[in-house]
Structure 1
Amino acid sequence: MTASGPPVIFDPARRALRLARSGGMFAQADFLHRRAAENAVLSLEATLRPFPAVVDLSAHTGVFAAALAGSDAAGRVGMPGADPDSYRAAPGLRPLGVAEGSVDLIVSLMTLHWANDLPGALSQIRRALKPDGLFLGTLLGAGTLKELRAVLTEAELAERGGAQARVSPFADGFDGAGLLQRAGFALPVADVDRLTVRYRDLFGLIRDLRAMGETNVLAGSTRPLTRGILARAAALYAERYGEPDGRIPATFEIVNLAGWAPHDSQPKPLPRGSAKVRLADALGVVEHGRGKL
């Protein structure tokens, strides 16, 4: 009996093709990636220590370096090194290609939501870090494109009598710290940055998603969307979510992750039973005994 690997949710070859095709258009729709980079740089500005050896695993290279160049942290953080292009399209699918324990800082912006094995990808990153090295990552969260998901499903059901998944299943931001802990990171932190982007119509949103390389690469065969389905979805979007000026909102959630490779110098929880003060005393409340059943 052979052990099965992680489920194949995304097609790495299609993902690589989407990223390659988006290169020339990316500057037209780089707002999510710039925001993710700015979030990562803010974390570095608050961490007053040097990070000489840096690897950038982000979906689009150069965005993090540009944000870092104008920040107070620039003098403490080395120039991001090159990484295998294949890792951008399929995080965790193949070895990372970075020697274990060799890097002070790894940044991965807007890539990990395409990982078929997210815990495995995070474990690879943690192993590549030196002890007390830092990982900063962002991925799209569960509320992303909730409006688009709803109207595409309804439109395809109406036109075909059945619907296929068209928007990726994104991770829940509340699971972020747990994912880092499972991968062996110490001091894990996760938070969610929510933003709403307004478009003239559905087709403007789709153009931006293509420019970012964020269109559907779910594994398996999918029937292409017809003009009729897209027209119905556009009408539903405007009817259900349209604003007084005729524009439509699109929700995005950026889950920010931060975790450290374990090191003896890091703070650790006290052993169980070692507390010197009762919880009731600390809270200033009266402790009541449990009644008998």
Structure 2
Amino acid sequence: MDNRAPPRIFSRQRRKAGFRRALVRQSQRDAARYVVDDMVEDVLDRLEFMRFEPARVLVIGDWTGTLALSLRGRRSQVEEANVRTLDEERPLDGGPYDLIVSLASLGRVNDLPGALLHLRSALAEGGMLIASLIGAGSLANLRRAMIAAEPDRPAARMHPLVDNAAASALMQRALFKRQVVDSRSLEVAFRSLDRLVSDLRDQGLTSSLANAAPPLGKAALENARAAFLTARNDQDRVLENFEILTLTGWKD
């Protein structure tokens, strides 16, 4: 067995700081929240389609509280995990749960296989995990702009992302049964790079890489802004895509 520690790609401290900032920004009336809203709606649609009515539920990552409110309306007993203090790479307290939902959270843990194993261990027999995360293929225009910002010495500024095949393999490795991984696209239009970055900050989706790159200088930032706008359509908007992966698996 390979007992080596997983590489440290992400910083829990930077991740928590991003969430704290997002909660403050959400007090503003026009703060963006479309990524988590899309994930919440998708989870509710899946549960309705499957006619699954869990008695005990753990919700991770829904800082809007919408999912928990909806599930309580369906008479589920719901616990909400504080993503600023929860360490998904350790065994979870509580449980067993009939359903665990993780929203936009698992994509930034260093030991994703271990986190999935801990989530499975916290499920009751016959329980289900639904985990949504931003997957590979997302934010292509932003990635291109970051490369154009400093073409001679590009720095890592964006997260590595999980693709469908890797997610399926991880679910199998974590011993989930009847596991399914699917994806969908959430397309959002932006007038500028600054607006996209602001939306990401609103939603706690900015970088939490352990080795943080230095801030872009003025010239590099202008390069990035100009490169981003080269993808404008005839409505003077840049269409950016969030590829949402949803991992579903059962503990049988």
TM-score by length of 2: 0.91
Cα offsets for 1:170-194 (capped at 9, x unmatched): 1002332222111111100111011
Cα offsets for 1:142-200 (capped at 9, x unmatched): 0111111111112212xxx2011111111002332222111111100111011211011
SS in 1 for 2:248: strand
User: Any conservation in 2 of the 1:196–1:252 contact (CA below 8 Å)?
Assistant: yes
Report the Cα offset of residue 48 of structure 1: 2.4
- Aligned partner of 1:36 in structure 2 is 39
Q: Give the whole-Å Cα distance in 1 for the aligned partners of 2:109 and 2:37.
A: 21
Q: Give the whole-Å Cα distance in 2 for the aligned partners of 1:250 and 1:193.
A: 14
Q: Structure 2: which 5+ residue stretches go unaligned?
A: none
- Aligned partner of 2:78 in structure 1 is 80
Report the Cα offset of residue 236 of structure 1: 1.0
| Structure 1 segments of 4+ aligned residues over 6 angstroms from their partners | none
- Aligned partner of 1:91 in structure 2 is 88
Does 2:220 correspond to 1:229?
A: yes
RMSD value over aligned CA atoms?
1.9
Structure with bigger RCO (C-alpha 8 Å, 6+ apart): 2
Residue type of the alignment partner of 1:172 = D
Q: Give the whole-Å Cα distance in 2 for the aligned partners of 1:221 and 1:33.
A: 25
Alignment of 1:20-59 (within 5 A): 20-26=20-26, 28-59=31-62
Report the Cα offset of residue 110 of structure 1: 0.9
- Describe the shift of the 1:79–1:97 C-alpha distance in structure 2 as closer, same or farther (beyond 3 A): same
Q: Give the whole-Å Cα distance in 1 for the aligned partners of 2:68 and 2:80.
A: 12
User: Any conservation in 2 of the 1:96–1:125 contact (CA below 8 Å)?
Assistant: yes
Q: Structure 1: which 5+ residue stretches go unaligned?
A: 263-293
SS in 2 for 1:171: coil
Indicate which of 238, 243, 249 corresponds to 1:259.
Answer: 249
Alignment of 1:1-293 (within 5 A): 3-26=3-26, 28-66=31-69, 68=71, 74-75=73-74, 78-86=76-84, 88=86, 90-92=87-89, 94-99=90-95, 102-157=96-151, 161-239=152-230, 241-262=231-252
Report the Cα offset of residue 24 of structure 1: 2.4
Cα offsets for 1:78-129 (capped at 9, x unmatched): 14213354455x531x332234xx1111010111111111111111000000
SS in 2 for 1:60: coil
Q: Give the whole-Å Cα distance in 2 for the aligned partners of 1:149 and 1:258.
A: 28
Report the Cα offset of residue 65 of structure 1: 2.4
Which structure shows the higher strand fraction?
2
Cα offsets for 1:20-62 (capped at 9, x unmatched): 1110223711101011111111111022243111111125251
User: Any conservation in 2 of the 1:34–1:67 contact (CA below 8 Å)?
Assistant: no
Q: Give the whole-Å Cα distance in 2 for the aligned partners of 1:235 and 1:64.
A: 38
User: Any conservation in 2 of the 1:7–1:116 contact (CA below 8 Å)?
Assistant: yes
User: Any conservation in 1 of the 2:142–2:228 contact (CA below 8 Å)?
Assistant: yes
Residue type of the alignment partner of 1:114 = R
TM-score by length of 1: 0.79
Identity of aligned residues (%): 33
SS in 2 for 1:35: helix
Structure number with larger C-alpha Rg: 1
Q: Give the whole-Å Cα distance in 2 for the aligned partners of 1:68 and 1:81.
A: 10
